[in-house]
Amino acid sequence: MPIRADPSALRWLIGVQLTNYRKQAGRTMAEGAAAIGCSPGKVGHLESGRNQQQPAEITDLLRFYGVDLADIERLATLAGSADRQTWWAPWTDVVPDWLRTFVGLEGLASRVSQYSASGVPALLQTEDYSLGVTTGGGRVRPDHDERTVNLRMERQRRLSNDDEPLEMTALIEESVLDRPIGSRATMRAQLKHLLTMSERDNVELLVLPTALGAHDGLVGPFTLLDFAAAQSIVYVEIVNGAVYVQDQQQVAGYTRTVDRLRAAALPPARTAEAIRSRLSALS
């Protein structure tokens, strides 16, 4: 797992997989509890991530569910590492409850694939652009604007981590390049930053042209999170909240959507041309 530790997010991720494996095995919480000698309530807490899952408990439960040995060892190892300090603790007061799990999961992920229809993804924003999309909005308190932006800047450091860089695929609508956020200077700096980031080996930036018309992403923005040692999760923001898609069949649907959007988008060279044309217009 990446070095951005977050015990609560990791417990949540382990709990999701415990739930999935139990349901696949056709077992109830009561049956799982009887198998490891505890109450159904405790199994519920293990699945919700409320309590830290001990490797031995994970191993016994998954054996009862008939899970493959490799997956048992993988989850037990994850459980053994869920006792580190949360990396984003200095920003706890500015992260709403519905976003906390996502920030933790993003720090644990090995790859993110994001479709954005309204703005530049947070991991690719400049500081001024980020402040522009935050200030005056209803989701962040006015006195938290700058610290919220600071947290985004800290999240971005995963992309430039030399030891374990985060892999990213960013799929953005062409209209994002034309939507003015802040001053002309802010937009010029943001477009230049997109070009710079797109040159990184671990960042794939692709523009979906407006002329494309209808496509699979029009159902709404989403972020697909892949992990080196856990099953993938999809994050979808809603007004004052978020939905975490955990069912692996549904997650697979989003994975296929990412593949189709990548195939429909402008290739990297033409994406860069589209960005440079906006830069020229702003100069």
CATH topology of domain 7-80: 434 Repressor (Amino-terminal Domain) (1.10.260)
Instruction: Scan for tokens 């001990």, then name that residue.
Output: 54
Split the chain (283 residues) into runs of 10 and give each run's mean pLDDT: 73 92 95 94 92 89 94 87 71 81 92 97 97 77 80 94 90 97 96 97 97 91 95 91 92 97 97 97 89
Domain locations in the chain as residue ranges: 7-80, 91-282
Contacts of 35 (CB under 8 A, 6+ apart): 60, 61, 64
Query: Alpha-carbon dihedral of residues 101, 107, 109, 110, nearest 10 degrees?
Result: 170
The C-alpha atoms of residue 3 and residue 1 are separated, in whole angstroms, by 7
* Residue 85 confidence (pLDDT): 67
Name the architecture of domain 91-282.
2-Layer Sandwich (3.30)
Do the two domains 7-80 and 91-282 of this chain adopt the same fold? no
* Residue 137 confidence (pLDDT): 67
- Compute the radius of gyration of the chain from its Cα atoms: 21
By C-alpha distance, which of 166, 164, 177 is closest to 281?
Answer: 177
pLDDT, tens only, 105-162: 999 999 999 999 999 999 999 999 999 998 866 666 666 778 889 999 999 999 998 7
Query: Alpha-carbon dihedral of residues 19, 25, 28, 33, nearest 10 degrees?
Result: -80
